[in-house]
Amino acid sequence: MKAKPFKAKPFIRPPLMDSENSSHANGPLGPPCVTAPVAPVSFGSKLLPDSTSTMGVIKVSPDTAALYSACDMLDDMKSESSYTSSEEGCGGGERHAVLSYEQVRRLNDVMDEVVAIHGRGNFPTLHVRLRELVAGVRARLEAPQTAGGAGVNVRDVRLNGGAASHVLADRPQPYSDIDLIFTAELPTARHCDRVKAAVLGHLSTLMPPATPRRRASPAGLKEAYVSKMVRVNSDGDRWSLISLGNSRGHKSVELKFVDTMRRQFEFSVDSFQIALDSLLAFHECAQLPIGENFYPTVVGESVYGDFNEALSHLAEKLIATRQPEEIRGGGLLKYCALLAKGYRPARPDKIKTLERYMCSRFFIDFPELGQQRAKLEAYLRNHFVGREEEALKHRYLTLLHGVVRESTVCLMGHERRQTLALIEALACRELCARAPVLLAPQYYVCVCACAACAQCAQCVACAQCAPPAPYCDCCHAASCPA
């Protein structure tokens, strides 16, 4: 289902309600939902007020005061935020949209989820509701330094990555971690240090009351609960990342604090960002649960450029990007992961050119064989979580081997052979790690990923493979049991 684009200009803003007649306490975005003396006017799936009508009910939009805040929030997302990409949008379409009730309900379910932040060694596992974690971290960031905060101005908070795609997609989308973006002002490296201290300070409040003070020190908390910490401060990029959780096979929570970022996405299907401010304000103000006739206005954005186009790519499992040479690693590993999950190129005639750019940038960023091994092993460990995802590892490495073999033009012959041998060794390791398969006589397991093997009725394993690429030697009549 495609979301309707949301534009602030056509709104006719009626006078504000009398505060004495309002039965709800005003929050940052105003009261969540009220009846108002206006008649509903249809705007896609929303009902918006008309200034010249009689008594009516606004069912799903906020009241007039909250409508101002929604319009202002949308204007901020479009023009005022320095975090907005300067790249031209793809397709010339609208990059923002208002979420439907079903999407807001899924977003609310994600934010109500209790996440487990696993610690190393004998540090306890911290259980916290995601919504409360976001509110607590934001409060610490905005608190003055004299009160133990960071004294940083937070412009907004957004849900990003696979969790945002899960919220917007019509069908369930598995995601391996939860990405949260805090857009904030970080003019100096000292501000990043204060952000780190604020996050660790909030983690200390989640520790059990009986925890000794020495174990709750910033250094101890960082060692126990932070799995990754990144800081980037270069031309056009000023942001930091703190990844919480140290248990393999469980979702991690990645907190990204962004002042400016030139490249905000890899592919169109992971380019979605959902503003959480209105949902968080709703829970602060409203006493009733979210319902079909009572829920906040939530705005989503595709930093790829065209929201509806990116949403259609997500629904149809299409791969689209632009200028992959701007992405660290070229997006090569994510591209092969999408292929392994059944995605296909949106423009097959252009994909070979994009693959060459991806490979070139990957080997520029990771020129040494040791770096390549570490990157591949970390990607397999962090992005293939769960039994179904684990089963895709061998197919993923097979597809990666094919792309590197066919599209690498920047390596010398022996370097290319070394990289291919590394991928083959990892693929063999993943294949051998599987449970043994008992085969009937005259059957064998084909480990390739070609179209002909997928169509071979006698092949035991290949029937599960999606057909991506060229034919292989095992498909010849002399060696294929069919």
Q: How many domains does the chain have?
A: 2
The SS3 of residue 193 is helix
- Residue 281 phi/psi, 5-degree rounding, is -65, -35
CA distances from 322 to 165, 340, 346 (A): 19, 20, 12
111 within domain boundaries: no
Whether 357 and 448 map to the same domain: the answer is no
What does the chain come to in residues?
Answer: 482
Whether 408 and 423 map to the same domain: the answer is yes
Whether 402 and 462 map to the same domain: the answer is no
Which pLDDT band, with edges at 50, 70 and 90, does 279 fall under? Answer: very high
User: Is 4's pLDDT higher than 90?
Assistant: no
Among 395, 412, 434, residue at a domain's last position: 434
Whether 408 and 466 map to the same domain: the answer is no
Among 394, 414, 434, residue at a domain's last position: 434
- Per-residue tokens: 19: 């505060």
- Is 151:194 a contact under the CB 8 Å cutoff? yes
Whether 386 and 425 map to the same domain: the answer is yes
DSSP 234: E
CA distances from 17 to 24, 28, 40, 59 (A): 12, 16, 16, 17
- Per-residue tokens: 331: 């997006």
**What is the dihedral sign for C-alpha 96, 102, 108, 113?**
negative
Contacts of 272 (CB under 8 A, 6+ apart): 160, 164, 165, 167, 168, 300, 301, 302, 310, 314
- Is 251:245 a contact under the CB 8 Å cutoff? yes
294 within domain boundaries: no
262 within domain boundaries: no
**Mean pLDDT score of the chain:** 78
Among all chains, which residue has been given the structure tokens 């049991």? 481
The SS3 of residue 459 is coil
Cβ neighbour number for residue 237 with a 10 Å cutoff: 13
Whether 414 and 481 map to the same domain: the answer is no
Q: What is the DSSP string of 114-179?
A: EEEE--STTPPPEEEEHHHHHHHHHHHHHS-GGGTS----EEEEEEEHHHHHHHH-SS----SEEE
Whether 387 and 478 map to the same domain: the answer is no
Provide the domain limits for residue 458.
441-482
470 within domain boundaries: yes
User: Is 282's pLDDT higher than 70?
Assistant: yes
User: Is 58's pLDDT higher than 90?
Assistant: no
Whether 327 and 430 map to the same domain: the answer is yes
195 within domain boundaries: no
Whether 421 and 448 map to the same domain: the answer is no
Q: Please give the pLDDT value at position 110.
A: 95
Q: Please give the pLDDT value at position 48.
A: 37
Cβ neighbour number for residue 233 with a 10 Å cutoff: 14
Distance, CA of 321 to CA of 304 (rounded, Å) = 8
CA distances from 435 to 187, 391, 430, 432 (A): 53, 11, 11, 8
- Is 111:131 a contact under the CB 8 Å cutoff? yes
451 within domain boundaries: yes
User: Is 345's pLDDT higher than 80?
Assistant: yes
Whether 400 and 463 map to the same domain: the answer is no
In percent, the amount of the chain with pLDDT more than 70 equals 71
The SS3 of residue 385 is coil
8 within domain boundaries: no
Q: What is the DSSP string of 259-302?
A: EE-S---SSGGG-EEEE-HHHHHHHHH-SS--BTTB----EEEE
The residue among 447, 448, 450 whose CA lies nearest residue 468 is 450
166 within domain boundaries: no
Whether 474 and 391 map to the same domain: the answer is no
Contacts of 350 (CB under 8 A, 6+ apart): none
Which pLDDT band, with edges at 50, 70 and 90, does 467 fall under? Answer: very low
Which pLDDT band, with edges at 50, 70 and 90, does 390 fall under? Answer: confident
**What is the dihedral sign for C-alpha 241, 246, 248, 253?**
negative
Write out pLDDT tens, residues 131-170: 999 999 999 999 999 888 899 999 999 999 999 999 999 8
User: Is 417's pLDDT higher than 60?
Assistant: yes
Distance, CA of 321 to CA of 269 (rounded, Å) = 9
User: Is 423's pLDDT higher than 90?
Assistant: yes
Q: Please give the pLDDT value at position 446.
A: 53
Whether 401 and 445 map to the same domain: the answer is no
